[in-house]
Amino acid sequence: MNRSVEAPLQGGEPGTHDSAELQRLLGALGEARAEVGKVVLGQTEAIDELLIGLVCGGHVLLEGAPGVGKTLLVKTLAVATGLTFSRIQFTPDLMPADITGTMSLVPSERGTTRTEFLPGPVFTQILLADEINRSTPKTQSALLEAMQEGSVTYAGKSMELPRPFFVLATQNPIEMDGTYRLPEAQIDRFLFKTLIGFPTRDVLDTILDATTGSERPVASQALSAADVLELQSLVRAVPIASHVRGAVAQFVVSTQPDNPDAPADVRRYLRFGVSPRGAQALVLAAKGHALLEGRYNVAFSDLRAVLKPALRHRFQVNFEGQADGVSGEALLLKLFDDAVRDAR
């Protein structure tokens, strides 16, 4: 028997949110989803993953070929959520101060000069780090504190970033010349790794019709910064049944290649498995997915829906697995399904 209840939002909501306020927030979240979908066509999964990342207070790494709409997706999300937006084009000569800001001499009213901190583009609510893997590791690391702590330290002084703070970084999987591999510590800061695929023929035809005429679709604001902050506090209070949480724990333990009880394929083909932080990301993202679907509890279907984007960057297939053509994502899904079957 499946004990994972998939009930609509009702009764037992926590905190100070009454039922009407919860319904308003979830309705506004659904409107934001629709508004982004009006402009960004054929990327339903990517839109959902960005919204889940936003309400979970995480960050998202977008990977896709040039011209598939990554920048448009991020800019449209900023419009639909009413959040301030900045973009940084990462290049090999970009310096950390170009991201965080720097001290500068500015004129004073008395005709003299004084030093003043000039905030960089990181002081925003939605930050697009475009082609993040084109800058050096030193510059990439300038984002680490901002992504993890929501603050920037300069000259020994810590400065809070605007809230909510949401980083969306893009990288091109095709052109590798002049790029730098993202450090594992930084990759782990991303709640999701979202793949932006090529549209189907029918979707591409719709895109051409919508974008090459005299009028182009425009998104409207459906959320505010205050709404996003309320959703971020709400998502962590979404309940998850003990047997559902236990299935996640069993699944993550089964991905460890040094675990003698792990399946043979794991011990043979994985270099390293999902970490405890990955397990936390999976559960939190599933809570966000439940809210996006208008439910106030985590079901196994929520976990399965977010498993790939939450974990595809948190484990690694070894050389033997690559040589044998092993799909790491397919292996993870099988392990998850086995854990769910045992939990039911």
Structure tokens, 178: 């002049």
Q: pLDDT value at position 193?
A: 93
Q: pLDDT value at position 15?
A: 46
Beta strands in 187-278 (DSSP E): 192-195, 270-272
Q: Rounded distance, CA 106 to CA 116, Å?
A: 7
| Domains of the chain, residue spans | 16-211+219-235, 238-344
Q: pLDDT value at position 51?
A: 95
Same fold, 16-211+219-235 and 238-344: no
Q: pLDDT value at position 337?
A: 92
Orientation angle between helical segments 276-292 and 19-39, nearest 10 degrees: 90
Q: pLDDT value at position 9?
A: 44
238-344: which CATH architecture?
Answer: Orthogonal Bundle (1.10)
> Mean pLDDT by 10-residue block, N- to C-terminus, for the chain (344 residues)?
40 56 89 92 92 94 86 93 93 88 76 78 93 84 82 81 92 68 78 90 89 84 93 92 94 93 90 91 95 90 95 90 89 92 83
> Which residues are within 8 A (CB) of 322 and not within 5 positions of it... i.e. 6 or more apart?
none
Peptide bond before 257: cis, by omega within 30 degrees of 0?
no
CATH number of 16-211+219-235: 3.40.50.300
pTM: predicted TM-score of the whole model, two decimal places: 0.88
Q: Rounded distance, CA 194 to CA 13, Å?
A: 30
Q: Rounded distance, CA 73 to CA 40, Å?
A: 6
Q: pLDDT value at position 178?
A: 62
Q: Exposed, middle or buried by CB within 10 Å (0-12, 13-18, 19+), for 239?
A: middle
> Which residues are within 8 A (CB) of 121 and not within 5 positions of it... i.e. 6 or more apart?
86, 87, 88, 99, 127
